[in-house]
A and B are shown apart, each in its own frame.
Chain A
Amino acid sequence: MRKTLFDKIWDQHVVKNLPGGRQVIYIDHHFIHEVTSPQAFAELKERNLPVFRKEQITATADHNVPTKNQHLPIEEPMSRKQVTTLTENCNEHNITLYGLGHEKQGIVHVIGPELGITQPGMTIVCGDSHTSTHGAFGNISFGIGTSQVAQVFASQCLILQKPKKMRININGKINPMVTSKDIILFLLSKLGVGGGTGFFIEYAGEAIESLGMEARMTICNMSIEMGAKGGLIAPNETTFNYLKGKPNAPSDSKWEDAVEKWKQLYSDEDALFDQEYYFNADEIPVMITYGTNPGMAFEVNEKIPSAADSKALNYMGLKPNEQLIGKKIQHVFIGSCTNARLEDLKIVANFIKGKQKAPGVQALIVPGSQNVANQIKQEGLIPIFEDAGFELREAGCSACLGMNEDKIPAGEYCVSTSNRNFEGRQGPGSRTFLASPLTAAAAAIYGEIVDVRNI
Chain B
Amino acid sequence: MERFTKLTSTAIPLPLENIDTDQIIPARFLKAIDKKGFGENLFKDWRFHSDGTANDQFILNNPNYTGSILIAGRNFGCGSSREHAAWALKGYGFKVIISSFFADIFKENALNNGILPLVVIDENLHNLFKAVEENITTKFQIDLEQQLLKQVDSELAIKFEVDAYKKTCLLNGQDDVDFLASIKNEIEQFEQNRIAV
Q: Interface segment, B17-25, B124-132, B140-148?
A: B17-25
B151 at the interface (CB under 8 A from A): no
Asked, given contacts A129-B79, A145-B109, A197-B101, whether A24 binds B183 with beta carbons under 8 Å apart, the answer is yes
Measured as residues with beta carbon below 8 angstroms from the partner, the interface class of chain B is: 35 or more
The digit string for A21-32, where 1 denotes a CB below 8 A from any CB of B, is: 110101000000
A211 at the interface (CB under 8 A from B): no
Asked, given contacts A26-B190, A155-B180, whether A145 binds B16 with beta carbons under 8 Å apart, the answer is no
A81 cross-chain contacts in B, Cβ below 8 A: 31, 33
Contact check, A82 vs B31: say whether CB atoms are below 8 A apart.
yes
Contact check, B164 vs A428: say whether CB atoms are below 8 A apart.
no
B16 cross-chain contacts in A, Cβ below 8 A: 311
Asked, given contacts A18-B165, A147-B176, A420-B79, whether A129 binds B105 with beta carbons under 8 Å apart, the answer is yes
B186 at the interface (CB under 8 A from A): yes
Contact check, B180 vs A159: say whether CB atoms are below 8 A apart.
yes
Closest chain-B Cβ to A10's Cβ sits at a distance in Å of 14
A157 at the interface (CB under 8 A from B): yes
Taking a contact as CB atoms closer than 8 A, the residue among A35, A145, A428 that contacts B105 in the complex is A145
Closest residue of B by beta carbon distance from A160: B108
Contact check, A21 vs B176: say whether CB atoms are below 8 A apart.
no
Contact check, A128 vs B81: say whether CB atoms are below 8 A apart.
yes
CA distance A85 to B32 in the complex (A): 10
Main SS of chain A's interface residues? loop
Asked, given contacts A16-B183, A150-B177, A197-B104, whether A145 binds B86 with beta carbons under 8 Å apart, the answer is yes
Contact check, B187 vs A43: say whether CB atoms are below 8 A apart.
no
CA distance A424 to B28 in the complex (A): 10
**Interface residue ranges of B52-95 to A (CB < 8 Å):** 74-75, 78-83, 86
B194 cross-chain contacts in A, Cβ below 8 A: 26
A205 at the interface (CB under 8 A from B): no
A47 at the interface (CB under 8 A from B): yes
**Interface residue ranges of A39-93 to B (CB < 8 Å):** 39, 42-43, 47, 49, 52, 63-64, 78-79, 81-82, 85
The digit string for A112-153, where 1 denotes a CB below 8 A from any CB of B, is: 000000000000000111000000000000011111101100
Contact check, B75 vs A197: say whether CB atoms are below 8 A apart.
yes
B27 at the interface (CB under 8 A from A): yes
A330 at the interface (CB under 8 A from B): no
Contact check, B164 vs A145: say whether CB atoms are below 8 A apart.
no
Contact check, A428 vs B45: say whether CB atoms are below 8 A apart.
yes
Contact check, A22 vs B108: say whether CB atoms are below 8 A apart.
no
B163 at the interface (CB under 8 A from A): yes
Contact check, B75 vs A143: say whether CB atoms are below 8 A apart.
no
Taking a contact as CB atoms closer than 8 A, the residue among B23, B35, B50, B112 that contacts A423 in the complex is B23
Asked, given contacts A49-B181, A127-B81, A194-B74, whether A39 binds B45 with beta carbons under 8 Å apart, the answer is no
Taking a contact as CB atoms closer than 8 A, the residue among B23, B81, B103 that contacts A424 in the complex is B23
Contact check, B81 vs A36: say whether CB atoms are below 8 A apart.
yes
A250 at the interface (CB under 8 A from B): no
> Considering residues B30, B86, B104, B183, which has the most beta carbons from chain A within 10 angstroms of its beta carbon?
B104
Closest residue of A by beta carbon distance from B193: A15
CA distance A78 to B28 in the complex (A): 10
A402 cross-chain contacts in B, Cβ below 8 A: 27-28
Contact check, B179 vs A403: say whether CB atoms are below 8 A apart.
no
Contact check, B105 vs A64: say whether CB atoms are below 8 A apart.
no
A172 at the interface (CB under 8 A from B): no
Closest chain-B Cβ to A70's Cβ sits at a distance in Å of 17
The digit string for A156-198, where 1 denotes a CB below 8 A from any CB of B, is: 1111010100000000000000000000000000000110011
Closest chain-A Cβ to B110's Cβ sits at a distance in Å of 9
**Interface residue ranges of A232-284 to B (CB < 8 Å):** none
Asked, given contacts A18-B165, A227-B103, whether A147 binds B113 with beta carbons under 8 Å apart, the answer is yes
CA distance A210 to B6 in the complex (A): 54
B173 at the interface (CB under 8 A from A): no
Closest chain-B Cβ to A396's Cβ sits at a distance in Å of 13
CA distance A81 to B32 in the complex (A): 9
Contact check, B190 vs A15: say whether CB atoms are below 8 A apart.
yes
Taking a contact as CB atoms closer than 8 A, the residue among B22, B31, B33, B187 that contacts A156 in the complex is B187
CA distance A422 to B186 in the complex (A): 43
A128 cross-chain contacts in B, Cβ below 8 A: 80-81
Contact check, A429 vs B50: say whether CB atoms are below 8 A apart.
yes
CA distance A20 to B163 in the complex (A): 7
B123 at the interface (CB under 8 A from A): no
Closest chain-A Cβ to B44's Cβ sits at a distance in Å of 9
The digit string for B111-123, where 1 denotes a CB below 8 A from any CB of A, is: 0110000000000
A337 at the interface (CB under 8 A from B): no
Contact check, B81 vs A145: say whether CB atoms are below 8 A apart.
yes
A38 at the interface (CB under 8 A from B): yes
Contact check, A193 vs B78: say whether CB atoms are below 8 A apart.
yes
CA distance A128 to B177 in the complex (A): 19
- 10 A-B residue contacts at CB 8 Å? A21-B165, A47-B177, A64-B30, A78-B32, A151-B176, A155-B184, A225-B79, A227-B78, A402-B28, A428-B45
Give the 8 A-B CB pairs with smallest separation, nearest first. Answer: A20-B164, A147-B112, A155-B180, A145-B109, A38-B33, A145-B83, A78-B31, A143-B81
- The residues of B with any CB-CB pair to A shorter than 8 Å are 16, 18, 20, 22-23, 26-28, 30-35, 45, 50, 74-75, 78-83, 86, 101, 103-105, 108-109, 112-113, 163-165, 175-177, 179-181, 183-184, 186-187, 190-191, 194
- The residues of A with any CB-CB pair to B shorter than 8 Å are 15-16, 18-22, 24, 26, 35-36, 38-39, 42-43, 47, 49, 52, 63-64, 78-79, 81-82, 85, 127-129, 143-148, 150-151, 154-159, 161, 163, 193-194, 197-198, 224-225, 227, 229, 293, 311, 401-403, 410, 420, 422-425, 428-429
Can you name 17 extra interface pairs (CB under 8 A) apart from A145-B109, A193-B78, A422-B79? A16-B186, A21-B164, A26-B190, A42-B34, A47-B177, A128-B80, A129-B79, A129-B80, A129-B81, A158-B176, A159-B176, A159-B180, A197-B104, A229-B104, A293-B78, A420-B22, A428-B50
